[in-house]
């Protein structure tokens, strides 16, 4: 037994061939020729019978006769579309209906075959080609879904590593620097009495340690920006705006008219990173002087908008989108959100991320 034959035995294809009563003498021969190839074949003698069968079954491929007494092939397709039933199909048509066949091809038919003396010889090969195309499309969809899943896992792992490093900075290095600051303060008190000349230096050291503690906390917050509480995204974005205002000569405003709850920490983390990247782009590339971050929820959908008054996006010499924009799109896709970027030269950039409501 050939490998192809074994494959057909292991996973037979189910074919549906609706034919009208006027061509019922052809149906048995068509079904017989296809069954000889190892496929499961179900026949329907009319359009209504085909629709009834399709209500409870999903074939891998359908052979559709354009001329049936009760329901024409085109009308049957319209009814399937109205029912949101998506079935790959081949068209079987007679002489003089080539134009109709071409129109049906535009509606998604994989191929069409003419009713003539050679149809039974040509039909199995056409079905094989159609099934091969469908198998390739299915494999591609599965590969794309697996790629998306793996990319999501990589992003999640990266985010977990960031949070771990942030926690170590806060609880490890931050705590040690704070302890050193306390020691310096105590030494300064002793120096004022016994070694007055050392007091100014110890005071300077204490001040530098306080600044180091503050910078360590900022770094820790940047690496682990979103906590586990439901309102962590709003809190994190408010702190981001405050931090940028403190470190840069740029006015950043965070607006959140109503409380927005994001229970999924992974989703909240990706949304935060999108805002962080958009703000960084506004500061580094757009030369913005003001940035507005707005978080709202409308009709269940979460809307995140970052707008600036900078010079707008400049087209890269390579013609490709910048790395930052690509990362933002990737993060949005990972959580099922839609990202849009609007920019006019000299009029700033607006980045919009819309996360639809959870079904």
**Residue 10 predicted with pLDDT over 60:** no
pLDDT bracket for residue 27 (50, 70, 90): low
Q: Is the pLDDT of residue 12 over 50?
A: no
Instruction: Tell me: do 196 and 259 sit in the same domain.
Output: no
Q: Is the pLDDT of residue 24 over 60?
A: no
Asked whether residue 102 falls in the same domain as residue 168, the answer is no
What pLDDT sits at residue 8?
A: 37
Residue 164 has pLDDT above 50, yes or no: yes
Give the residue numbers spanning the domain of 160. Answer: 148-224
CATH number of the domain residue 47 falls in? 3.40.50.2300
pLDDT at 253 > cutoff 80: yes
99-138 confidence digits (pLDDT tens): 777 777 777 788 877 777 788 888 888 888 888 888 888 8
In a domain, 207, yes or no: yes
What pLDDT score was predicted for residue 337? 93
Domain boundary among 224, 242, 259: 224
pLDDT of residue 228: 64
Identify which of 9-18, 45-54, 108-117, 296-305 has the greatest average pLDDT: 296-305
Question: Do the domain assignments include residue 125?
Answer: no
Is 65 part of a structural domain of the chain?
yes
Distances (CA, A) of 325 to 151, 255, 341: 17, 23, 9
- Supply the pTM of this predicted model: 0.49
Q: What is the pLDDT of residues 129-143, one digit of tens each?
A: 888 888 888 899 888
Q: Is the pLDDT of residue 256 over 60?
A: yes
pLDDT digits (tens, 9 = 90+) for 216-237: 766 666 665 666 677 888 988 9
Which of residues 277 and 29 earns the better pLDDT score?
277
Boundary residue ending a domain (58, 93, 116): 116
Average pLDDT, the chain: 78
- Identify whether 175 is part of a domain: yes
Asked if the model's pLDDT at residue 13 lies above 90, the reply is no
Residue 328 and residue 278 in contact, taking contact as beta carbons nearer than 8 Å? yes
Specify whether the CB–CB gap between 220 and 174 falls below 8 A: yes
Greatest mean pLDDT among 52-61, 72-81, 196-205, 254-263 lies in 254-263
Are residues 13 and 47 located together in one domain of the fold?
yes
Domain match, 82 and 40 both: yes
Instruction: Tell me, yes or no, whether 185 and 232 share the same domain.
Output: no
- The C-alpha atoms of residue 124 and residue 116 are separated, in whole angstroms, by 14
Residue 264 pLDDT class (50, 70, 90 cuts): confident
Residue 20 lies in a domain: yes
Q: 236 and 213 in one domain?
A: no
Number of domains in the chain: 3
Do residue 157 and residue 73 come from a single domain? no
DSSP letters spanning 85-132: ----EEEEE-TT-HHHHHHHHHTT-S-EEE-STTHHHHHHHHHHHHHH
Residue 275: its pLDDT value, please? 92
Q: Please, what is the end-to-end C-alpha distance for the chain in angstroms?
A: 48
Distances (CA, A) of 172 to 148, 157, 207, 220, 329: 35, 22, 20, 11, 34
Q: What is the CATH number of the domain that holds 344?
A: 3.30.565.10
**Pair 108, 155 in one domain:** no
Domain co-membership, 40 together with 93: yes
Count other Cβ atoms within 10 Å, centred on residue 347: 13
Q: Which string of b and e fits 165-196 if b means at least 16 CB within 10 Å?
A: ebeebbeebbeebbeebeebeebbeebeeeee
Q: Are residues 155 and 260 in the same domain?
A: no
Q: Are residues 94 and 174 in the same domain?
A: no
Give whichever of 18-22, 88-92, 174-178 has the largest mean pLDDT. Answer: 88-92
Q: 214, 186 in Cβ contact below 8 A?
A: no
pLDDT beyond 90 at 355: yes
Q: Is residue 311's pLDDT more than 50? A: yes
Asked whether residue 292 is domain-assigned, the answer is yes
* 107 lies in the same domain as 169: no
Q: Residue 127 domain-assigned?
A: no
**Domain membership flag for residue 287:** yes
pLDDT in tens, 37-93: 888 888 887 778 888 888 888 888 888 887 776 776 777 787 887 777 788 888 887
Of the three residues 224, 246, 267, the one that is the final residue of a domain is 224
């Amino acid at each position: 037994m050939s490998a192809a034959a074994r494959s057909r035995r292991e996973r037979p294809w189910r074919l549906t061939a609706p034919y009208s009563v006027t061509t019922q003498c052809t149906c048995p021969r068509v079904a017989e020729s296809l069954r000889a190839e190892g496929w499961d074949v179900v026949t329907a003698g009319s359009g209504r019978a085909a629709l009834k069968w399709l209500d409870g079954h999903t074939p891998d491929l359908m052979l559709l006769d354009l001329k049936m007494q009760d329901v024409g092939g085109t009308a049957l397709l319209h009814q399937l579309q109205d029912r949101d039933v998506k079935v790959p199909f081949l068209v079987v048509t007679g002489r003089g209906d080539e134009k109709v066949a071409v129109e049906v091809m535009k509606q998604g038919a994989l191929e069409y075959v003419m009713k003539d003396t050679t149809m039974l010889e040509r039909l199995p090969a056409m079905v094989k080609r159609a099934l091969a195309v469908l198998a390739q499309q299915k494999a591609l969809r599965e590969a794309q879904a697996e790629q998306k899943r793996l990319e999501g896992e990589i992003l999640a792992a990266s985010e977990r590593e960031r949070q771990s490093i942030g926690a170590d900075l806060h609880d490890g290095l931050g705590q040690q620097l704070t302890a050193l600051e306390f020691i310096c303060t105590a030494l300064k008190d002793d120096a004022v009495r016994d070694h007055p000349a050392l007091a100014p230096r110890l005071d300077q050291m204490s001040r530098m340690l306080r600044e180091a503690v503050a910078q360590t906390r900022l770094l820790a917050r940047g690496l682990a920006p979103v906590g586990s509480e439901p309102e962590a995204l709003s809190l994190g974005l408010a702190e981001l705006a405050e931090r940028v205002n403190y470190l840069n000569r740029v006015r950043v405003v965070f607006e959140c008219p109503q409380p927005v709850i994001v229970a999924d920490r992974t989703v909240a983390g990706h949304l935060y990173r999108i805002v962080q990247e958009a703000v960084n782009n506004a500061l580094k590339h757009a030369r913005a002087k003001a940035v507005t971050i707005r978080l709202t929820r409308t009709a269940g959908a979460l809307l995140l908008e970052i707008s600036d008054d900078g010079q707008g996006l400049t087209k890269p010499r390579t013609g490709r989108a910048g790395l930052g924009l690509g990362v933002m799109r990737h993060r949005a896709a990972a959580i099922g959100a839609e990202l849009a970027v609007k920019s006019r030269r000299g009029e700033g950039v607006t980045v919009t991320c819309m996360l639809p409501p959870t079904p």
